[in-house]
């Protein structure tokens, strides 16, 4: 028995969610009295740092090559390592690539799986993991009864903490199975924390009146070290890029702090953000439904309130 953690490394760098799942896997292993092994595929800076977050061993496959993600070939590599080390639990991030892998891994391992877990397992009477369902309107407690288990973990489920020391990765080469898929292009906003990983998100909606007014939102986000997001009508009108759209048809996020300016809070929007730890709503309409889902509310004109908030944040941080 062992716990295997697959750690993503886009462009050769370990993401925050990578450290989160390393911590998660190490804590699961500890509660079961077994070992946690970290697994990386392809060229990665400072792969051994994974050990600082708990895994006692790190396996680094094809460390000298840049490897493009493909769910089919990665599934084979990950399950081969799991079988070799008799790992019956695989942990990974519930990210874009994680979502493409988790179901495949479950099938190949003949495992019970929970995709998008947001708690550590309760092993007192089974192996029970929580997951948000019905677009955040309920939580289900799943008991994974199968011997083999695959869990993809939502971002920000736990805070990654360095608790140990770096380890020297065991490097090896493994041929990735040839598949019929190849990546030909990637377009990503540079230098921005991706929304699913962001701890603070500043979001705005139709109340902004037009894309030319977004400067105040970007200023607030910069002051907070936050990532910007938007509501559906804003993305649909091309005021902001599609990947910033949070909500039912966009992406679901769970930051520690979600600040929404000029968003009324339609149920479809709430579905994507209601797992945020703290919600601040700024809206000039006191009847905006979003206030019912908010922790803090400011009834006022966002064009006045947002710059004042930015100034207050700057003063606080100074």
Partner 1 sequence: MNLLVCISKTPDTTSRISFRPNEKEYNTDGVSFIMNPYDEWYALVKALEITEKNGGNVTVINVGPASNDIIIRKALAIGATDAVRVNLENPDAYTTSANIAAHAKNKSYDIIFTGKETIDFNGSEVGAMVAEMLDLPFISYASALEVNGNTSKITRDIEGGVEVCQVEGPYVLSASKGLAEQRIPNMKGIMMAKTKPLTVLDPISENARVTIEKFILPPGKSGVKLINPDDMDELVRLLHEEAKVI
Span 168-227, contacts to partner 1 by CB under 8 A: 179-189, 192, 194-197, 200, 224
- Residue 91, strand partner residues: 5, 151
Cβ count near 26 (within 10 Å): 25
φ, ψ dihedrals at 67, nearest 5°: -115, 130
- CB within 8 Å of 20: residues ≥ 6 apart: 93, 153, 155, 156, 157, 158, 159, 160
5 by DSSP, 3-state: which? strand
Quick one: which of 134, 238, 287, 318 contacts partner 1 (CB under 8 A)? 134
CB of 144 to partner 1, least distance (A): 5
The footprint of partner 1 on this chain (CB under 8 A) covers a number of residues equal to 99
Is 104 among the residues that bind partner 1 (CB under 8 A)? Answer: yes
Q: 28 vs 257, which CB is nearer to partner 1?
A: 257
Write out the binding residues for partner 1, residues 260-299 only, by CB under 8 A. Answer: 267-268, 271, 274, 277-281, 291-299
Is 123 among the residues that bind partner 1 (CB under 8 A)? Answer: no
Instruction: Return the sign of the alpha-carbon dihedral for residues 261, 266, 268, 274.
Output: positive
Whole-number Å distance between alpha carbons of 118 and 87 = 22
Output DSSP code: residue 242.
G
Site string for partner 1, 5-34 (x = CB under 8 A): -----x------------------------
Write out the binding residues for partner 1, residues 83-102 only, by CB under 8 A. Answer: 95-97, 99-102
Is 59 among the residues that bind partner 1 (CB under 8 A)? Answer: no
Quick one: which of 139, 162, 209, 285 contacts partner 1 (CB under 8 A)? 139
């Amino acid at each position: 028995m062992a716990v295997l953690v697959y750690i993503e490394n886009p462009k050769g760098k370990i993401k925050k969610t990578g450290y989160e799942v390393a911590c998660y896997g190490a804590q699961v292993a500890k509660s079961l009295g077994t070992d946690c092994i970290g697994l990386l595929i392809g060229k990665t800076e400072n792969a051994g740092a994974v050990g600082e977050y708990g895994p006692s061993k790190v396996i680094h496959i094809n460390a000298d090559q840049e490897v493009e993600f493909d769910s089919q070939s990665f599934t084979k590599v990950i399950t081969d390592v799991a079988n070799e080390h008799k790992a019956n639990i695989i942990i990974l991030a519930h990210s874009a690539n994680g979502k493409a892998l988790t179901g495949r891994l479950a099938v190949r391992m003949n495992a019970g799986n929970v995709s998008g877990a947001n708690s550590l397992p309760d092993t007192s009477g089974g192996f029970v993991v929580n997951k948000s369902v019905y677009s955040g309107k309920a939580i289900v407690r799943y008991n994974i009864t199968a011997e083999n288990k695959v869990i993809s973990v939502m971002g920000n489920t736990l805070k990654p903490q360095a608790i140990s020391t770096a380890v020297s990765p065991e490097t090896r080469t493994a041929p990735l199975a040839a598949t019929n898929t190849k990546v030909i292009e990637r377009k990503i906003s540079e230098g921005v924390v991706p929304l699913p990983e962001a701890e603070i998100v500043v979001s705005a909606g139709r109340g902004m009146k037009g894309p030319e007014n977004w400067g105040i939102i970007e200023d607030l986000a910069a002051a907070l070290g936050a990532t910007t997001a938007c509501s559906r009508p804003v993305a649909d009108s091309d005021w902001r890029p599609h990947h910033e759209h949070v909500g039912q048809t966009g992406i679901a996020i769970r930051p520690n702090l979600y600040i929404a300016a000029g968003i009324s809070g339609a149920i479809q929007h709430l579905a994507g953000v209601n797992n945020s730890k703290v919600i601040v709503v700024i809206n000039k309409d006191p009847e905006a439904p979003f206030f019912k889902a908010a922790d803090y509310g400011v009834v006022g004109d966002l064009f006045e309130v947002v710059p004042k908030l930015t100034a207050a944040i700057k003063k606080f941080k100074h």
